[in-house]
Amino acid sequence: MVRRYEVGDDEVHEVLARADDVEGLFAQARPLDRRELVVRGCPDVAALSRDFTIEVLDDQQWVWFWDVLDPVVREEAGRVVVTASAALQEEEHPQALRRLKQPRYRIFQEHRFVGWCEVEGLPDEWEGWSWPPVTLLGCDTPDFTGDRYDLWTGVRALDVTGRVMGEVRLDLDISEVRPRANGRFDVVLDQSCSHHVPKWRERPLPAAEAVWDLWRHGRPEEPGLWAELGTEERQSWLDLTFVGWQSTAELGPRTFHLDGRHVTDEPGLYLVLSEAFAGPGNYFGRHYDSFHACLQDARVTGSTLVWHNARTAWESIGELFVEVLELLHANEVVVELDFTPGELDRRLALGELARRLTAAGEHVITDNSRWKLDSVAAGVAVSTREDRIAVVTHSPAEVAKTLLRNGVELQPQRTVRQRGTELVVTGDDHLALGWERVADVVVARNDVWRVEAERRSRLTDLLHTWRRATQERLHVTSRQGRVVVTGAAPLPRKLMARDLADHPAPAPPDGYELVVTRTPGINARITHAGLEVARGRIAVIGRDAVPSDIGVELRHRRQGLGSALLGALVREAGVDGATTGVLISPEFGIVFFRALGWQDEADVVTTHQGGT
């Protein structure tokens, strides 16, 4: 049993107890209380008879996602009443639901956008999941507790080599202790009402137990050992590859081979991709976004992926198969298929058209962002700007119908025309005589994603300062209260700022020496026994300062070196007249900067465009 908590800007991992085995870990959550939801204005009432997801949002942000499970539907007096269990899936901003003056609701079903609607009856706050108890068998101590402020508490499973092969979050509420004759104990942990919001696949399902038993003998070294497993077992296998993963190795351009015989579901797809790029038992993404991140980190541009038995993936998961092929192509990976149906050729060709339009300044991105307009099944390219949505498609009537169902106002339709290697997007066919029509563009007013002018101006100023200081060659825009950086590594990041007047500047601990230089710019480093163990720099632009490249060697972390380093840089920037700090922090640095008083200004969503 382990708990994680913070001390200052350090994260501590404390082992509370050790046990021989665990019972009850692989379980389904107990059914939640059922409630009545009233749904009005849903364009597809029949969809409500199967499990679906309700997203609650306003014009500025997503807030909560509710999974509606085992629904029973009846219609009465012009409304739809759904009796079901409502389970909180993800929480973006605690308690934000009750602060929204005009919440909006939209329904998804298996990634398919069903429509906008009005919903009454959702819980005002998250009430907790109910799980069966978990028993630690042969525990070395009968008494251990966590703390309400712990970042994480739970059990870690070790394989025969001592490597952490899996971990599961648990509440440490001891309900019973049974002594054993050998001096050890069986400790029962009550999980009847979890105190935290569950994360994605946090508890392993019963089907996962056999997979864990196999992995206990060590990380699998042969490819395809999962091939005969069902979808749930495959997903568990995929999750175990993620445990202990730190970063994706840089592979460089080379030829990879993929055995596609068993790509019959989504987990199977990412398992064969991981085995092709990283080897058996290793991690290379477990869903679309994480696979995209690993592709970029591995720097496989110029590589070739030889996909054997491609027909299986096309027939089993056709749409996702095409999306992954488009992603590989966008990252300049050549894919050699032994099976290429005509429909696939058409989709890939239209995806290439979207990329060419992007290069021509049309700001087109592929429609893998299903949260925007999932049901644009006929189109493969979506462009979003602050005031409009544009869909490049071969089926404009179907797309127009989809947009109208979403309550947006259509604008005059345009066409994509080609002459030789040139492309033009025009709304006047008379001006395009002699140009071949290759696709249609359906355009609509985009009133869903509005950004306050003052907020947008603030973000723009901060981004301008950051870009000038870092000189990163990235395409940066701000919308929806978020920052979109195209061309950067796709990791969760935050745009942060701080008034530098009272910034902490502690001295480094004994045995460490801090040195500040100005050759060029402001640089700082900390040495120990003559060796550099921490470094960083800061750029001053007018009255703004932008720290970057703050790093501490692993063996010397958790001693306050990061705080001392940043404090010294800020102090020197103040000498040059800087009063405000601006930075974009990666996920692992956000807690550190917050502890020093830096405030979140916006989320940073990073994407990648082929050719940038």
Tell me what pLDDT residue 543 has.
85
Tell me what pLDDT residue 448 has.
36
Q: What are the domain boundaries of the chain?
A: 2-28+129-203, 34-120, 209-340, 363-445, 453-607
pLDDT at residue 72 tops 50: yes
pLDDT, one tens digit per residue, over 547-586 is: 988 888 877 887 889 999 999 999 999 998 899 999 888 7
Q: What is the mean pLDDT of residues 75-89?
A: 76
pLDDT at residue 294 tops 90: yes
pLDDT band of 165, cuts 50, 70, 90? very high
- In angstroms, what CA-CA distances link 214 with 22, 218, 282? 16, 8, 15
CA 511 – CA 107 distance, rounded (Å): 59
pLDDT at residue 258 tops 60: yes
Which pairs with CB-CB distance under 8 Å and at least 24 residues apart come from 564-567?
A: 564/505, 564/506, 564/507, 564/508, 564/512, 564/514, 564/526, 565/508, 565/514, 565/524, 565/525, 565/526, 565/534, 565/535, 565/536, 566/503, 566/536, 566/596, 567/503, 567/504, 567/505, 567/506
Question: Residue 212 has which token pair?
Answer: 């864990």
Tell me what pLDDT residue 428 has.
61
pLDDT at residue 198 tops 60: no
pLDDT at residue 194 tops 50: yes
User: Among the listed ranges 376-380, 441-445, 574-578, which one has the minimum average pLDDT value?
Assistant: 376-380
Question: Residue 53 has which token pair?
Answer: 């997801």
Tell me what pLDDT residue 418 has.
72
Question: Smallest Cα–Cα separation from 282: which of 206, 215, 209?
Answer: 215
Tell me what pLDDT residue 525 has.
92
Tell me what pLDDT residue 59 has.
59
Tell me what pLDDT residue 439 has.
74
pLDDT at residue 492 tops 60: yes
DSSP string, 564-599: HHHHHHHHHHHHTT--EEEEEEEGGGHHHHHHTT-E
pLDDT band of 209, cuts 50, 70, 90? very high
Q: What is the mean pLDDT of the chain?
A: 78
pLDDT, one tens digit per residue, over 534-548 is: 999 998 888 889 998
pLDDT band of 215, cuts 50, 70, 90? very high
Q: Which CATH architecture has domain 453-607?
A: 3-Layer(aba) Sandwich (3.40)
Tell me what pLDDT residue 521 has.
78
Q: Per DSSP, which regions of 401-447 are E strands?
A: 414-419, 422-426, 436-445
Q: What is the mean pLDDT of residues 56-81?
A: 77
Task: Specify the residue for token string 């939640």.
Answer: 32
Question: Smallest Cα–Cα separation from 82: which of 123, 106, 50?
Answer: 50
Spatial contact of 104 and 90, defined as CB atoms under 8 Å apart: no
pLDDT at residue 485 tops 60: no
pLDDT at residue 472 tops 80: no
DSSP string, 216-240: TT-S--STTTTTTS-HHHHHHHHHH
pLDDT band of 601, cuts 50, 70, 90? confident
pLDDT at residue 390 tops 50: yes
User: Among the listed ranges 376-380, 518-522, 559-563, 582-586, which one has the minimum average pLDDT value?
Assistant: 376-380
Tell me what pLDDT residue 566 has.
95
Q: Is 80 helix (H, G, I), strand (E, B) or coil?
A: strand
CA 239 – CA 267 distance, rounded (Å): 10
Tell me what pLDDT residue 247 has.
77
pLDDT at residue 271 tops 90: yes
Q: Is 285 helix (H, G, I), strand (E, B) or coil?
A: coil
Q: What is the CATH code of the structural domain delimited by 209-340? A: 3.30.370.10
In the DSSP assignment, the letter for residue 432 is G
Q: What is the mean pLDDT of residues 320-324?
A: 87
Tell me what pLDDT residue 363 has.
37
Spatial contact of 167 and 159, defined as CB atoms under 8 Å apart: no
Whole-structure pTM value: 0.56
pLDDT band of 431, cuts 50, 70, 90? low
Spatial contact of 113 and 373, defined as CB atoms under 8 Å apart: yes
Task: Specify the residue for token string 């992954």.
Answer: 324
Tell me what pLDDT residue 265 has.
95
The residue with greater pLDDT, 311 or 340, is: 311
CA 504 – CA 515 distance, rounded (Å): 17
pLDDT band of 60, cuts 50, 70, 90? low
The residue with greater pLDDT, 315 or 423, is: 315
Name 447's Cβ contacts closer than 8 Å, sequence gap at least 6. 408, 409
CA 491 – CA 288 distance, rounded (Å): 13
pLDDT at residue 76 tops 50: yes
pLDDT band of 454, cuts 50, 70, 90? very low
pLDDT band of 378, cuts 50, 70, 90? very low
pLDDT band of 27, cuts 50, 70, 90? confident
Tell me what pLDDT residue 100 has.
66
